[in-house]
């Protein structure tokens, strides 16, 4: 990666975010920051850096002229802007921008744009990632985590996200989001000849005015029990063609169907709460995954209903499991129960609650980690 990176940015918070994102990569270094764009133009004219990150200002016409000028000087311009409408993106590209990254900036989007400009032979994020939420015991909050995480993925990435209810034979995703689906998993797996990308998207229930789509469990227990591991593999193949992120709410059984789901997942979120029996069950799962030779970083430990003053500490859990805790979802009984009873995500109950913030940050961390894993493989 070319180290000669120049950044035009007037917001100190955005500067800090960019520096934090680039700090993990030794070959991505910032040469100069400019909040005075005229000074920046003069510097680029003299030094001709390979890449410029250019944050648009409220004066759009002046920004477009500067983008054009920078492009004429022979540098690759990556535009940063809160206005990610199609019209604005097209306009910046017409004025010479090489790429466009929307604000607030995601690490994945920024690094992909920089890699493209550097024209290095580096893999970028795969079209689709499967994140399965699992526990071998019920009652730990799997469905709440899967549902709210999927909502936050859609809000954060603005890409198509699928939430799949494979908590068989009786799932609750549609109840948690108060939707009445017209098509379910069984219809997709039993109509393979129709399973192109458009059919898959239309078969899933779109959640309000978002990029989240829900695929419900079969309505009858008999249909759920007839679902085979081979059909699940096919289902995932279909979904990967249509969605960037696939969140799976799983059942608790350690059977062939669930093992197939886990084997075909990119990330397993292993959910527990802080009590001794559940921690022991969590350890049994980790032992099983190790015996199956799952990569160590594939499984992430999630503590749900976390209390800072709990008798068993996070350090105790990590020592018992010999594995770091990936995330702690705070115990906010009122917000989560209100969410479940109303059939809405926690963000719609209270967007400022600690549990809403936790799910948002978890989605952001997973997005970044999935990207970093992919470019280092």
Q: Is the pLDDT of residue 1 over 50?
A: no
Is 52:7 a contact under the CB 8 Å cutoff?
yes
Looking at residue 335, its pLDDT comes to 97
- pLDDT computed for residue 336 by the predictor: 97
Question: Tokens 């719609």 identify what position?
Answer: 348
What average pLDDT score do residues 288-297 get? 94
Q: What is the mean pLDDT of residues 199-228?
A: 83
Q: Which of 3-7, 32-36, 63-67, 244-248 has the lowest mean pLDDT?
A: 3-7
CA distances 64 to 56, 191, 324, 332, 355, Å, are: 8, 49, 47, 47, 40
Report pLDDT digits (tens) over 122-158. Answer: 444 455 899 999 999 999 999 999 999 999 999 988 8
Q: Is 87 exposed, middle or buried (0-12, 13-18, 19+ CB in 10 A)?
A: exposed
What does the DSSP assignment read for 223-281?
HHHT--HHHHHHHHHHHHHH-SEEEEEE-S--SHHHHHHHHT-SEEEEEE-SSHHHHHH
pLDDT at 115: 81
Q: Are 164 and 246 in contact (CB under 8 A)?
A: yes
43 or 217: which carries more pLDDT confidence? 43
> Sign of the CA dihedral 11, 159, 98, 30?
positive
In the structure, what pLDDT confidence band is assigned to residue 198 with cuts at 50, 70 and 90?
Answer: confident
Ordered by where they begin, the domains of the chain are 5-118 (3.40.50.2300), 129-376 (3.40.50.300)
At 175 the pLDDT is: 93
Strand, coil or helix: 142: helix
Q: What is the mean pLDDT of residues 247-272?
A: 95
pLDDT tens-digit profile of 74-111?
A: 889 999 999 988 888 989 998 999 999 999 998 888 98
Spatial separation of the C-alpha atoms in residues 233 and 263, rounded to whole Å: 10
The pTM for the full model equals 0.73
- Mean residue pLDDT of the chain comes to 88
pLDDT at 182 > cutoff 80:
no
């Amino acid at each position: 990666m070319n180290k000669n990176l120049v950044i035009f940015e007037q917001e100190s918070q955005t500067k800090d975010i960019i520096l934090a994102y680039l700090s993990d990569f030794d070959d991505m270094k910032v040469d100069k920051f400019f909040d005075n764009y005229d000074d920046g133009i003069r510097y680029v004219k003299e030094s001709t850096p390979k890449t410029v990150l250019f944050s648009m200002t409220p004066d759009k016409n002046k920004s477009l002229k500067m983008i054009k000028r920078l492009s004429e000087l022979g540098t690759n311009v990556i535009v940063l802007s809160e206005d990610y409408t199609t019209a604005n993106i097209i306009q910046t590209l017409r004025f010479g921008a090489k790429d466009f990254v929307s604000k607030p900036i995601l690490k994945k989007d920024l690094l992909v744009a920089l890699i493209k400009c550097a024209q290095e032979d580096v893999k970028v994020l795969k079209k689709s990632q499967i994140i399965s939420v699992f526990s071998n015991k019920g009652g730990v909050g799997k469905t709440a985590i899967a549902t709210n995480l999927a909502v936050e993925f859609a809000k954060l990435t603005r890409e198509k996200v699928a939430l799949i209810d494979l908590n068989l034979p009786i799932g609750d995703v549609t109840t948690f989001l108060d939707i009445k689906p017209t098509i379910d998993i069984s219809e997709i797996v039993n109509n393979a000849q129709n399973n192109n990308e458009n059919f898959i998207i239309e078969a899933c229930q779109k959640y309000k005015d978002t990029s989240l789509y829900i695929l419900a469990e079969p309505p009858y227990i008999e249909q759920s029990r007839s679902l085979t591991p081979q059909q699940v593999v096919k289902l995932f193949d279909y979904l990967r063609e249509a969605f960037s992120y696939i969140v799976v709410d799983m059942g608790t059984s350690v059977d062939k169907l669930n093992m197939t789901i886990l084997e075909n997942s990119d990330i397993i979120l292993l959910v527990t709460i802080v009590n001794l029996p559940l921690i022991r069950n969590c350890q049994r799962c980790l032992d099983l995954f190790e015996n199956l030779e799952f990569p160590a970083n594939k499984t992430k430990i999630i503590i749900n209903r976390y209390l800072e003053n709990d008798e068993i500490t996070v350090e105790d859990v990590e020592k018992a499991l010999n594995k770091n805790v990936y995330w702690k979802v705070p115990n906010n009984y009122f917000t989560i129960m209100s969410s479940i009873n109303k059939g809405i995500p926690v963000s719609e109950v209270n967007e400022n609650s600690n549990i809403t913030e936790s799910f948002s940050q978890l989605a952001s961390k997973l997005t970044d980690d999935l990207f970093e894993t992919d470019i280092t493989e």
